[in-house]
Structure 1
């Protein structure tokens, strides 16, 4: 009997907390950040399944989000750009060697696929190649640096968006 009472009391507390949490006054920026989604992809845990995706960060240059495009350019400034198409949302770097890795080169391609700041709206592909016997190998492979760059671009785009809201 005691277990049933404790369970019912816990359920009532949880339900009441859910009701009062929705009344918490949030600033405009807090509401927009809450609706933007997760850096890890998807929307995270949603207790309101009917919730729609926010259009708060919608800002276009051509067909892509201007904050994602600017953030991509800012994050990739360490490498020379081969091309940057703001209307199509494609940014490609030249092959680049970090200062401490003279026998390794990287090339990065960024695809911006949405007009919102979302992890699904961005794809980063990085290639890596090595120098063998004084020649760069034509056999380049995918690099793990792509996920790091993708995360930096999303974070930078959100910062640019928040700065523009001020």
Structure 2
């Protein structure tokens, strides 16, 4: 039993030294800054979205990503859901601005449609809205129909914006 305790005591300094060497090797700045240098390393000077690698020190940095903003115009988003409310929603992703619907028939219409909407910019602009319509069986939809639905979404988005401006 005494031999086991002595072996554990002898192994403890080896483990501590190995851990210290492992942590020291994670910096990778080569004395040009960073943890033990005079200033931030080149890695730390780049914006977060341009970093190519991460280190163990990134775990302890004070970069809070919980406040990321969604880059989708909320008026276009809500207007798309309002105008296409007759279509069953299959998936939505407000972070990428994509709404995918299933097939549905518009009120007063006889043809079934499916829509995919992508809102690519936070601006309330026609260029921010991309709409794809498909008929039953994946058949093509007339460009005039697509343009009419886009116009309806843009008109509804402007109405929502005006209504919010009057609050």
| TM band (smaller chain) | 0.5 to 0.7
- Distance change (3 Å), C-alpha of 1:91 and 1:105: same
Mapped contact 1:64–1:115 kept (Cα < 8 A): yes
Q: Distance in 2 between matches of 1:74 and 1:152?
A: 10
- Show the counterpart of 2:155: 155
Bigger share in strand: 1
Which one has more relative contact order, counting CA pairs under 8 Å at least 6 apart?
Answer: 1
Corresponding residue SS for 1:116: coil
Q: Distance in 1 between matches of 2:86 and 2:119?
A: 19
Corresponding residue SS for 2:104: coil
Deviates most, 143-152 or 114-123: 143-152
Bigger share in helix: 2
Q: Distance in 1 between matches of 2:107 and 2:127?
A: 32
Q: Distance in 1 between matches of 2:83 and 2:107?
A: 17
Deviation at 1:161, TM superposition (A): 0.8
Mapped contact 1:61–1:86 kept (Cα < 8 A): no
Q: Which ranges in structure 2 are unaligned for 5 or more consecutive residues?
A: 1-67
- Deviations, residues 94-133 of structure 1 (Å, cap 9, x unaligned): 011346655x32111111011011111111111112xxxx
Q: Does 1:90 align with 2:98?
A: yes
Deviation at 1:84, TM superposition (A): 1.6
Q: Distance in 2 between matches of 1:150 and 1:88?
A: 19
- Show the counterpart of 2:132: 125
Q: Which ranges in structure 1 are unaligned for 5 or more consecutive residues?
A: 1-59, 130-137
- Deviations, residues 77-104 of structure 1 (Å, cap 9, x unaligned): 11111112111111111011346655x3
* Number of residue pairs aligned between Structure 1 and Structure 2: 98
